[in-house]
Amino acid sequence: MKTEIYHYLKIEFNFIISNYYKMPYTEEEKRLRRNEANRKSYQKHKEKRLENRKEYYQNNKEKQKEYYENNKEKVLEYYKEYKQTENGKRNNKISTWKYSGLIVDDYDTIYDRWLNSVKCEMCDKEYKMTKKGYLDKCLEHNHTTGEFRSICCISCNGKMRYLDEEKK
């Protein structure tokens, strides 16, 4: 009986103490709030940044062309190195997908899914190395609407394309 009372007293005591000393936010809460704020600001500025970049490009097209003509080797060397970096690889891949007509809200998410995919999402087989030295991993999308469908192996990709052709 004695221990029981002691037990409840202890709970009560801890409750009062923890409320009394409770800070507005715990470290974890603060961290989550900070992340959320960062995310919002990133999204907000992302649009602005793209806009600025477009404007800058329009205003400096000629200058850039001239710079390129005068520094061709340097520029090409820079791009060659850039393409080897993680960001370079990502942007390069995403550009190829955009060029092939893929339309999604978030290319980065799709890229991460593609990067982390170890087996075909359609037939469940692991990807094989092609003769050219890379995995037969494809991004499968509807070629009419641009809608993303799956990350799959080259053979499933071929089948889907065949079915699309059949439908036409």
Where do contacts with Zn ion occur on this chain (CB under 5 A)? 120, 122-123, 152-153, 156
- Choose between 90 and 149: whose C-beta lies nearer to Zn ion: 149
- Choose between 102 and 151: whose C-beta lies nearer to Zn ion: 151
CA nearest neighbour of 138 among 166, 108, 159: 159
C-alpha 150/C-alpha 157 separation (Å) is 9
Q: How far apart are the first and last CA of the chain?
A: 81
Compute φ and ψ for 93, nearest 5 degrees: -65, -45
Q: Do the Cβ atoms of 35 and 28 come closer than 8 Å?
A: no
Closest approach of Zn ion to the CB of residue 102, in Å? 18
- Choose between 52 and 130: whose C-beta lies nearer to Zn ion: 130
Q: Do the Cβ atoms of 123 and 153 come closer than 8 Å?
A: yes
Closest approach of Zn ion to the CB of residue 162, in Å? 13
Give 102's Cβ-side CA count (13 Å radius). 21
Closest approach of Zn ion to the CB of residue 43, in Å? 34
- Choose between 20 and 134: whose C-beta lies nearer to Zn ion: 134
Closest approach of Zn ion to the CB of residue 154, in Å? 8
